[in-house]
Structures are given as C-alpha cells and as structure tokens.
C-alpha cells in the first residue's frame, strides 16, 4: 500500500519544489507534475509530487491526517 500526503507548493525550481506539508517544509521532485504552479496542492509520496489535487481535497485530507497523528501521539505508554 502506498500512502501520499497533501502539500502546498510554496517555491518552485526547474525539477523540484518546496512544499508545506502540515506545517513542515520539504523539498520534493516535480518531474511527474512539471506544470505545477505556486499555490497548487500536490500529493507527495517518497519525495515526489505525484499528482495535483484541488484545495478542498487537500484540506479534507489534512484534517484526516491530523486525526491520525493526534491519535498516535495520545497512545498510552505501557
């Protein structure tokens, strides 16, 4: 199973971009989405922007990712 997270393009270079993923910034390759523009949302998997998605989808996905992260962080320690 492959899992991708949504990120917002905040800086674009020729073959890479900086994305904001839930408040963290990281560099990703954009070879699969060379038409991406600043402000676009992409699905990031294994260091690559795999596809462009609409803002609504990205924001709904982030809500679900935050629930997952919060649940993992509140797991009791044995």
Interatomic CA distance for residues 12 and 38, integer angstroms:
7
Domain ranges of the chain: 5-73
What pLDDT shows up at residue 3? 79
Q: Tens digits of per-residue pLDDT, 23-67?
A: 999 999 999 999 999 999 999 999 999 999 999 999 999 898 888
pTM: 0.83
Interatomic CA distance for residues 76 and 72, integer angstroms:
9
Instruction: Pick 5-73's CATH classification: 2.120.10.30, 2.30.30.140, 1.20.120.1750, 1.10.940.10.
Output: 2.30.30.140
Please check whether residue 18 is in contact with residue 11, taking contact to mean a CB–CB distance below 8 angstroms: yes
What pLDDT shows up at residue 2? 67
What pLDDT shows up at residue 72? 78
């Amino acid at each position: 199973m492959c899992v991708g997270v949504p990120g917002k393009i905040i800086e674009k270079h020729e073959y890479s971009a900086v994305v904001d993923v839930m408040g963290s910034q990281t560099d990703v390759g954009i070879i699969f989405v060379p038409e991406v523009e600043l402000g676009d949302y992409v699905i990031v998997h294994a260091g690559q922007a795999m596809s462009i998605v609409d803002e609504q989808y990205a924001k709904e996905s982030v809500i679900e990712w935050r629930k997952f992260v919060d649940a993992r962080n509140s797991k009791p320690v044995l």
